[in-house]
Amino acid sequence: MVITAEKQEFEFYVAGVQHHDLKDVMDELSDGIELQMIPEPTNQYDATAVQIIFDSIEQNGQVMLGYVPGKLSAKVTNFIKHAIIPICEITMLTPEAKPWQQLKVKISDEGEI
């Protein structure tokens, strides 16, 4: 008997980009760039909130781009805790789109076989 586990990943548009700093670093971003994920358990609206962060050269440090959408935040928080090497990478960058459709990312476990 062979048991195979399906590789878990999440792909979504980053939420709240219009309220954060995506517009300030748009020219530094492109498909395939890795972003950081930082759980924010003290978030007053969602204890499972996860920030999406970019290490900007032009801005000299970390820039908040937005959040994992609320409907996925609990699952993503749990995934980050249990993943071997959790990564978040840009899969689509569309500066001319409406703000909530400008940045799409994929979260997966690079250490998963």
* Average pLDDT estimate for 93-105: 95
What confidence tens digit (pLDDT) does each residue in 7-39 have?
A: 789 999 999 999 999 999 999 999 999 999 999
Q: What angle do CA 34, 79, 25 make, to 5 degrees?
A: 25
Compute CA 106 distance to the chain's CA centroid, rounded to the nearest angstrom: 7
Give the number of other CB atoms < 10 A from CB of residue 57.
9
Q: What is the DSSP string of 27-47?
A: GG--TT-EEEEEE-TT-SS-T
Assign 111 a pLDDT band (cuts: 50, 70, 90). Answer: confident
Given a contact cutoff of 8 angstroms between Cβ atoms, the answer to whether 75 and 49 are in contact is no
Q: Which of 48, 26, 25 is nearest to 38 (CA)?
A: 48
What CATH number matches the domain at 29-108, 3.30.70.3280, 3.20.20.190, 3.10.300.10, 3.30.70.2330?
A: 3.30.70.2330
Strand partners, 59: none
Residue type, 61: G
- pTM (predicted TM-score): 0.89
- For the chain, the domains span 29-108
pLDDT over 60 at 4, yes or no = no
